[in-house]
Structure 1
Amino acid sequence: MPIINKFIEVETKQGINIHNITPQIETLIFSTSIQNGQVLVFSRHTTTALAINEYEERLLEDIKVFLEKLAPASERYLHNDLHFRKNIPPDEPMNAHSHLMAMMLNNSEVIPIVDGKLALGTYQSVLFFELDGPRKRTVFCQISGE
């Protein structure tokens, strides 16, 4: 069974933003000979996340509000006491809230591939969550099957 490793790059904006990466994943699958199998999609950062859900503008705004309520940036977090931390870069952000939001979501998704296509439901999309942008992010995709 072949295993193919690929990457998707995502340029993100300030704060929480949600990107539909389904088209990029479909393009990767199409570039292989895999017709039936699965794709593992893995977020390689501690302040990003993945989820399968509907990519609808008003829902995306609801999700942002929900996440901000779970871990408000205005709260006091020990991780943000940068002067107590060792070996941090000079441009280290105060982003404990972003780490906490990421913990409430997933860092990976496994999606079946059937007849060369993602077996997602009608309203399902693979969503990439930036929780601490702006940054250049990398999503790892491992496609396997026959």
Structure 2
Amino acid sequence: MPIFNKIIEVETTSGINIYNITPQVKDFIAETGIKNGQVLVFSRHTTTALAINEDEERLLEDIKVFLNKLAPASDRYLHNDLHLRIVPEDEPINAHSHLMAMMLNNSEIIPIADGNLALGTWQSVLFFELDGARKRTIFLQISGE
């Protein structure tokens, strides 16, 4: 069974932002010629996440509000005591972003059937920037026939 790997990049903006990466995943499936199998989508950062959900503007805003309630940036976090640990000069205050990422997924495995993602009508592959702005990378791995 062949396996194909690819890294896609997303230039993000600061704060919580959600990007629909379904088109990039579909393009990679088409490039490989795989008709039946699965694709692993893996976020390579500790302050980003992935989810399969609806890409609807008002829902995405609701998600941002919900995540901010779960881990408000204004709360006190030990991770933000930068003076107590060795960190790069540009280390952000971002404990809340790490905690939000833990409430979501860092990977999704999606079936491929007849050369297409086997997603439901309203489902999209969503990439969450929880800290940003940065260049982020997402690892894709397709296996199948």
TM range (shorter): over 0.9
Superposed displacement of residue 65, structure 1: 0.1
Cα distance in 1 for partners of 2:82, 2:55 equals: 36
Query: In the TM superposition, what are the counterparts of 1:83-102 in structure 2 within 5 Å?
Result: 83-86=83-86, 88-102=87-101
Cα distance in 2 for partners of 1:126, 1:110 equals: 10
Q: Percent identity?
A: 81
Query: In the TM superposition, what are the counterparts of 1:1-146 in structure 2 within 5 Å?
Result: 1-86=1-86, 88-146=87-145
Cα distance in 1 for partners of 2:10, 2:29 equals: 18
| SS of the residue 1:55 aligns to | coil
Q: RMSD between aligned alpha carbons?
A: 0.4
Cα distance in 2 for partners of 1:116, 1:40 equals: 15
Cα distance in 1 for partners of 2:21, 2:14 equals: 18
Q: Which runs of 5+ in 1 are unaligned?
A: none
1:59-109: CA deviations, max 9, x gaps?
0000000000000000000000000012x1100000000000000000000
Q: Which runs of 5+ in 2 are unaligned?
A: none
Cα distance in 1 for partners of 2:55, 2:120 equals: 12
Cα distance in 2 for partners of 1:122, 1:7 equals: 26
Superposed displacement of residue 130, structure 1: 0.1
Cα distance in 1 for partners of 2:142, 2:113 equals: 12
Superposed displacement of residue 33, structure 1: 1.8
- Structure 1's consecutive aligned runs of 4 or more residues displaced over 6 angstroms after TM superposition are none
